[in-house]
Structure 1
Amino acid sequence: MTPEEIAGTLTDLFGADNLQAIAPGSWQIDTATFRLLVLLSEDQTWLRVLLPIMPATEAQPFLTQFLEANFDDTQEVRYALYDGVIWGVYQHNSSSLVSADLSSAIARLISLQEAGLNEVFNRLVENRIRQIVQAAKQQGQSLQTTMQSLERFYAEGLLGEINQTAEAREEVLAAWQKQLERLWNEV
């Protein structure tokens, strides 16, 4: 894609009012929810699209899940860490890039930004539940016995919040039951 084609695609996606040329071969898109950077290399052979996701300090406990997502889930875009920020990044050779692929990559970056920590947190929780299932099975426990142990932990205050109501505890236990049933035969 030429710089003109890139600018045209960005204008089609975001409108001329949101698009700002910040230097030759560099654009910035400002919306109410994000700031997207689109940068061509000096020799115009590589295009990089960048979208800040969150401060690295917020993401620190989930760095493993971000890297796992790069391997399994992010498709043509990647999470990256630079200058204290987790970024969504897309890089492509500009000569073979087409507008549809650029549009798709931008949509995927925006999806990562909108998800924030939700996807990586869910991945962490699922990994922890899998560990619980594995430990329970190694001890010869059934799903029912494992659930009874969790219920006892909540009743004794070992799990849950200090001021958790009985209704809230029941909701949490129902979520545990659902996840354990979903993963029990997979682990």
Structure 2
Amino acid sequence: MTPEEIALTLTELFGTDAVGAMIPPGSWQINTSSFRLLVLLSEDSTWLRVLLPIVPAQEAQPFLGQFLEANFDDTQEVRYALHEGVLWGVFQHHSGTLVSVDLSNAINRLVSLHQARLNDVFNRLIESRIRQIIQAAKQQGQSLQATMQTLERFYAEGVMGEISQTPEAREEVIVAWRRQLERLWNEIDFNP
């Protein structure tokens, strides 16, 4: 893609008001109400990089394993990366073989990562923990029902949950636990 084609694609995606002038030449900054996207050509114009900040690195730190797993399994043509205290969504491509539709798709994917922020990796972490609970329960010979009773007891005794949690909020959490345990219980085999 030429710089002109890149600028045209960015204008089609975001409109002329959001697409800043090239600063410096071969660089664009897209400003919207919810994010700032950077599009950079290498000095020799052979590589294009699109960057979108997701969250501060400190917020991402507990989930780095999940971000790396997402890079392997879920992010498709874009990747998560850490740089200067920020977790970024990044797309890199050789500009000579890049076409407008692929750039548009990559930018849409980056915006999707930005919108998800920590939600997807947090959910991945929670599912992994639930799987560990199921495996431990099965190792102890517990049934699904016995495992649920244990969790309900932990909430009733205050071992789990928040101290100021209302009975209604506790019931919502227990229903969520039950739904997740029922969804994953049969997927996890334990062979002693």
Cα displacement (A) at 1:167: 1.0
One-letter amino acid of the counterpart of residue 37, structure 1: L
Partner of 1:13: 13
Amino acid at match of 2:39: V
Partner of 1:4: 4
Following TM superposition, the consecutive aligned residue runs of length 4 or more in structure 1 with deviations greater than 4 angstroms are: none
Output aligned runs, 1:115-154, within 5 Å.
115-154=116-155
Q: Quick check: 15-24 or 30-39, which moved more?
A: 15-24
What count of residue pairs does the alignment treat as equivalent? 187
Give 5+ residue unaligned stretches, structure 1. none
Q: TM-score, normalised by structure 2?
A: 0.96
For the residue of structure 2 that corresponds to 1:103, the secondary structure is helix
Structure 2: gaps (5+ residues):
none
- The one-letter code of the counterpart of 2:79 is R
C-alpha displacement at 1:147, in angstroms? 0.3
- What amino acid is the match of 2:19? L
Alpha-carbon distance, 1:16 to partner: 1.0
Residue of structure 1 equivalent to 2:161: 160
- Which is worse superposed, 101-110 or 157-166? 157-166
CA deviation after TM superposition for structure 1 residue 24, in Å: 1.0
Structure 2 counterparts to residues 1-187 of structure 1, below 5 A: 1-20=1-20, 21-187=22-188
Q: Distance in 2 between matches of 1:66 and 1:158?
A: 30
Identity of aligned residues (%): 76
The DSSP-based 3-state class of the residue aligned with 1:164 is coil
- Name the TM-score, length of structure 1 as normaliser: 0.99
Q: Secondary structure at the match of 1:105?
A: helix
